[in-house]
Amino acid sequence: MDGFGILKGMGVTLKRFIDTYLDDLRWFGKRYYTKEGVARRMSTETRGIFTIQYPEEKLPVPEEFRFIPFLLYEEGENGEIKERCTSCGICAKVCPPQCIWIVRTTDPNTGRPVPEPKEFYIDVDICMNCGFCAEYCPFDAIKMDHDYELSVYDRHAKNIYDKDKLMKPVSYYASIRPANYAREEAARAEAEAAKAARRAQAG
């Protein structure tokens, strides 16, 4: 029928328009001025108008959201730190814009390489947040962060992140990416069990 498509399109537009205000109507204006309303607008449950008063209010990011990479370290029971990075250099090789620099540690007595980075830098102005470094790291030592508030007044001095700035505990990783963390830990436990079984068979 002539004009049916136009009517259908207008119907969709009208539905979207009404949907925009449904949450506002449900909350009778309290969506903006009460603690619960603000929490609702900042949650993944929110519907309708998404405008928030940034930076006082922030929308949650999904688990797979990725920004600048960070390095992971394990926290020992006595507060000691164990870096996961072995300084293998794979992340630096696969990084498309080549914004990772690593200097490997060497044993001062033998001059032989030690599997941990002495220095580790990422130029966050060049990083394009692709996540390749995290994908390819064989040791789960580098992961993508959720922190997107990186504005600084002096990018030359502040946007080349060194090891101190890049290192974060595994517990932080588990808090921002719980599903990924659980999956990796399960795979690690499975691999350890298989290794132990092979050892028992051989010995």
CB of 166 to ligand SF4, least distance (A): 9
Query: x/- string (CB under 6 A) for ligand SF4, residues 42-81?
Result: ---------------------------x------------
Q: Which is nearer to ligand SF4, 24 or 123 (CB)?
A: 123
Q: Which residues contact 183 (CB under 8 A, 6 or more apart)?
A: none
Contact assessment for residue 90 and residue 132, using Cβ atoms and an 8 Å cutoff: no
Question: Which residue in the block uniquely carries the two structure tokens 């300084």?
Answer: 87
Residues of span 136-165 touching ligand SF4 by CB under 6 A: 137, 139, 141-142
- Determine if 102 is a binding residue for ligand SF4 (CB under 6 A): yes
44, 46, 50, 55 alpha-carbon torsion, rounded to 10°: -60
Q: Which is nearer to ligand SF4, 129 or 159 (CB)?
A: 129
Task: Locate 23 and state its tokens.
Answer: 């949450």
Question: Which residue in the block uniquely carries the two structure tokens 């946007």?
Answer: 159
Question: 172, 176, 105, 99: which is closest to 132 by C-alpha?
Answer: 99
Residues that bind ligand SF4 in the complex, under the rule CB under 6 A? 69, 85-91, 95-97, 99-100, 102, 122, 127-133, 137, 139, 141-142
